[in-house]
């Protein structure tokens, strides 16, 4: 059969006997060998572990043991989460190499428990913040649609690996957009979950009050399948929510007729740095939902520009709190050049700055809740522009650009990034669906309906298509 690019497709093929997990895994590993040097997705590849897990999945299938849709599926973990059979580096020379040694993060353990095949650990921005420094020896993540463009961060490797079919699903983390930005830049789907929806024990922190762990895959349905596994309370994480967990695939096919869709024009659609093609792609997505029967209305999310600044201030301050002792030691130069400068900014914020940011956060959450009381989903662009250059970005531009993602880390709301087309230069564009707290099922349903009407999530980079053909010829997938 053709190499499957979705979890749902692969899961059906595994159960019908069209393919084995061993064949899928062998094909995924062959793809990694062909592509990873070019795109820099993996830090560590665990070939032997993966093949043993695939063989175990096939034995279980033969014995009638079915642990769920992820059983036998090629999968990988962002190298910020502990896994017991591979080192955890946080893409940094600073993290103690004994950190995470011999145990799984809660999310990693849950993925392992359902029989997914773990292929290794994925590249990220250093400590989920600073772009990888070429001088530090880690792979440089590159956009598979254009190798001179950024893959986005911080879950860069997960985004690249999903887009190229090295894996069919993976885990990322999101503090200011780090699941959604690489999903947008690499043209697949990524879900930032409600704060606390997925336990974070065993994940190196960036911003304690903002961090989340979320699924990254080709489709909204695939993200729902992953979330069904990783969501839910665990006492090891004091921030883990006790709210009941939905079956995120139940009702995902029920469409969006009658769904109240809000379009927040101010900031999200009228910002002077918003690229016209990115804006047009998001508005086209709104029209798809309208045509499917959604009730579309304009809304106002007041002071979203300040919400972006508050999210950044809280993130940097909390990051500095975690890294302060290492940064004050001889480890300063072990950090990448941009990482140490970004985290070091936290030393210049005062306690009053942090408190004021949190006061604004409380106010903004109240105002956002008022908006969400009248709508089910907000629709915005995910990014202000298509993927930019890999190197040489103007720091001033980066500071001035809007963030359509970090706003919702500040509120803790769930948000789904979806492929929404391509620019005139052939680069991915993305739209973001945002829901109320713990309304992941709603935005996944809306995302699935959108993807039933659009082809964007089915497109893969040319290098991935050619790799799939080579793997088929070689008989490994």
Catalytic residues: 78, 154, 178
* CA-closest candidate to residue 193, choices 428, 420, 417: 417
* CA-closest candidate to residue 417, choices 394, 450, 391, 395: 450
* Residue found by looking up tokens 């699924």 in the block: 215
Report yes or no: 435 and 377 within 8 Å, Cβ to Cβ. yes
Number of helices (H) and strands (E) in the chain: give both, helices first: 15, 11
What sign results for the dihedral spanned by CA atoms 161, 166, 167, 168?
positive
What sign results for the dihedral spanned by CA atoms 173, 176, 177, 178?
negative
Beta strands in 300-424 (DSSP E): 377-381, 415-422
- The DSSP-derived string for 373-386 is TS-SEEEEESSSSS
CA–CA distance, 438 with 215 (Å, rounded to integer): 15
Report yes or no: 227 and 440 within 8 Å, Cβ to Cβ. yes
* Residue found by looking up tokens 């990034």 in the block: 417
H or E element in which residue 48 lies = helix 47-62
Phi, psi for 361 (deg, rounded to 5): -55, -45
CA–CA distance, 72 with 4 (Å, rounded to integer): 13
In Å, how far are 282, 423, 428 from 385, measured between CA atoms?
Answer: 12, 9, 9
Q: CB neighbours (10 Å) of residue 221?
A: 25
CA–CA distance, 459 with 51 (Å, rounded to integer): 28
């Amino acid at each position: 059969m053709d190499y499957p690019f979705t979890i749902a497709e692969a899961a059906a093929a595994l159960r019908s006997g069209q393919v084995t997990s061993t064949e899928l895994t062998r094909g995924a590993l062959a793809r990694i060998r062909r592509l990873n040097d070019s795109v820099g997705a993996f830090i560590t590849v665990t070939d032997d572990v993966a093949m043993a897990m695939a063989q175990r999945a096939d034995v279980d299938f033969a014995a009638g043991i079915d642990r769920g849709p992820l059983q036998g599926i090629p999968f990988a973990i962002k190298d910020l989460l502990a896994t017991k059979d591979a080192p955890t580096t946080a893409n940094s020379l600073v993290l103690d190499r004994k950190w995470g040694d011999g145990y799984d993060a809660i999310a990693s353990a849950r993925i392992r428990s359902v029989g997914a095949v773990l292929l290794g650990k994925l590249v990220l921005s250093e400590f989920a913040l600073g772009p990888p420094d070429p001088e530090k020896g880690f792979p440089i993540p590159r956009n598979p649609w254009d190798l001179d463009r950024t893959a986005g961060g911080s879950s860069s490797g997960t985004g690249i690996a999903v887009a190229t079919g090295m894996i069919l699903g993976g885990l990322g983390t999101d503090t200011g957009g780090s699941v959604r930005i690489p999903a947008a830049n690499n043209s697949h789907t990524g879900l930032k979950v409600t704060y606390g929806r997925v336990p974070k024990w065993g994940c190196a922190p960036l911003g304690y009050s903002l961090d989340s762990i979320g699924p990254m895959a080709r489709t909204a349905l695939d993200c729902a399948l992953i979330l069904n596994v990783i969501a839910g309370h665990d006492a090891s994480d004091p921030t883990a929510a006790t709210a009941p967990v939905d079956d995120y695939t139940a009702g995902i096919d029920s469409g969006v007729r009658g769904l109240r869709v809000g379009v927040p024009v101010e900031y999200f659609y009228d910002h002077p740095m918003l690229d016209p093609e990115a804006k047009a792609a998001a508005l086209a997505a709104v029209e798809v939902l309208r045509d499917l029967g959604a009730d579309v209305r304009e809304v106002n999310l007041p002071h979203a520009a300040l919400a972006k600044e508050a999210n950044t201030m809280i993130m940097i301050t909390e990051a500095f709190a975690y890294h302060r002792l290492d940064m004050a030691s001889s480890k300063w130069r072990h950090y990448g050049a941009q990482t140490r400068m970004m985290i070091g900014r936290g030393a210049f914020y005062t306690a009053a700055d942090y408190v004021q940011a949190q006061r604004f956060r409380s106010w903004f959450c109240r105002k956002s809740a008022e908006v969400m009381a009248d709508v089910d989903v907000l629709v915005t662009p995910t990014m202000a522009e298509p993927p930019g250059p890999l190197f040489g970005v103007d720091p001033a531009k980066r500071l001035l650009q809007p963030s359509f993602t970090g706003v919702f880390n500040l509120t803790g709301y769930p948000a789904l990034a979806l492929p929404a087309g391509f620019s005139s230069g052939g680069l991915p564009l993305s739209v973001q669906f945002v829901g109320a707290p713990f309304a992941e099922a709603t935005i996944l349903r809306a995302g699935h309906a959108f993807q039933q009407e659009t082809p964007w999530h089915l497109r893969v980079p040319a290098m991935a298509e050619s790799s799939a053909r080579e793997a088929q010829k070689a008989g490994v997938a």
